[in-house]
A = this chain, B = another copy of it.
Amino acid sequence: MSQNVYEPHNHSHCVDHAIDRARSLCEQRGARLTKVRLRVLELIWQSHKPMGAYELLAILAQEGFNPAPPTVYRALDFLLDLGLVHRLHSLNAFVGCNHPEDQHPACFFVCEQCGKAQELAADKLQALSRQVEELLGVTVNHQLTELSGICPGCKQKALEQ
């Protein structure tokens, strides 16, 4: 885990690093980080709360992008392909990835109260795919673990009331 989103941190660093990584990754792969794609990535990184496609759409609209749903979904597909964002199916939402360089089974904890998502680099999960492949004789292409519950901050707030 590169960082704990439930702890206070200088969030602009998160964003800056993410954009830098995105640029170099795109260059490396010969992919084009266009205006829409870049803006979508920035918006996703503006908080640690996973964002929905239509939420992104609304913001882009305010900014004069004049987009329709496909615009956003295409940008998201692009970012997903490069591993720059993950999709949290249980929320129908998207969140930035901290280490897009290396492919990895995704694992997230999401606070049911504040909505912030923390990615986890659980090494045990790396092994899970191999285990399942042996056990069932299958080939695993994707793996996603989603945990949900209450984060420390929201526990605290609940007590104070």
A residues at B contact (CB < 8 Å): 1, 4, 6, 89-90, 109, 111-112, 118, 120, 122, 124-125, 127-129, 131-133, 135-152, 155
Contact = CB atoms under 8 A, between A and B. Distances in A.
A136 B152 contact: yes
A150 B141 contact: yes
B146 A139 contact: no
Contact of A144 (B112, B131, B145): B145
B128 A122 contact: yes
Contact of A155 (B4, B139, B144): B139
A6 B140 contact: no
A152 B133 CA distance: 10
B109 A136 contact: yes
A141 B148 contact: yes
9 contacts: A111-B138, A128-B145, A133-B149, A136-B152, A137-B151, A139-B149, A140-B149, A143-B147, A145-B145
